[in-house]
Amino acid sequence: MADDQLIAGMLDGLALRSASFIVTVYGDVVVPRGGVLWTGTLIEICKRVGISESLVRTAVSRLVAARRLSGVRAGRRSYYRLDASAQKEFDQAAALLYAPDIPPRGWQILHAPDLAEDEARHLRMGRMGGQVFIRPNRGQPAPSGAVLFHAADPGDPSSLASYWDLSALQAGYRNMLARFEPLDRLADRGALSDAAALAARLLLVHDYRNVLLRDPRLPVEVLPADWRGHVARELFRTLYTRLTPGAERHIAARFEGIDGALPASTPLSAARLSSLN
């Protein structure tokens, strides 16, 4: 299968927004390698997934205005780095994607009178009623103004599932599996070019991240028996590991930072890969 056909198959039905994909490029590739990328490299990798140069430039301008990227000039070239204000958010997403999951210890019950609905969803909380929320206890700090209580598992923890819309998450995981399971066989045979391996890895991270960041990661006792999140996690781990050798060769050959070519690997990128194995 030609690279273009392969990428087109992964893009089919995937709502790929340019700004969000650029965030994926920085989070997966650029941040572990110094955080700075030449605009020309960004345009090149985005073109491979169907995002035009004009869309890249517009998206970068919006990310700068939103204080997620900041510009750096060197001669006639423009480079962009991750803005300091976005670093914490990137680190949190990276911990979910690459680090081993932290098993919850009971539950957090929060009375948060000032917590907006959008923020509660962002924090992956379930609403129990009014301004009372629940989430698995992984030691997260309470939002400002909230009163935090700790609770043990109830006699029937499966009843807690009703506080989240698991059907939407289940659909997201099913779509991710349908999109990337065929790639598993190709990657296993080494049938991808280095450029396609990187594009595929970025699309894998992008699609999986968009579901994972909405997932409260409930204990298995709460989840339905056919829950696809665990299968999706295993596929992500397997594919990311198989795609990385080719992806890293392409990064070293084509990606440029302000000090020259980006390295194929760094201690941080190697640590991410090790955590997935």
Note the pLDDT of residue 165.
94
Position 102: which residue type? I
Note the pLDDT of residue 156.
86
Note the pLDDT of residue 218.
96
Note the pLDDT of residue 33.
96
Model pTM greater than 0.85? Answer: yes
Note the pLDDT of residue 55.
97
Share of the chain above pLDDT 70, in %: 98
For residue 256, the SS3 value is strand
How far is 91 from 87, CA to CA, in rounded Å? 6
How far is 195 from 28, CA to CA, in rounded Å? 15
Residues of the chain scoring pLDDT < 70:
1, 187-190
Residue positions counted in the chain: 277
Note the pLDDT of residue 189.
64
Residue 51 to residues 22, 32, 35, 57, Cα–Cα distance (Å): 10, 23, 21, 10
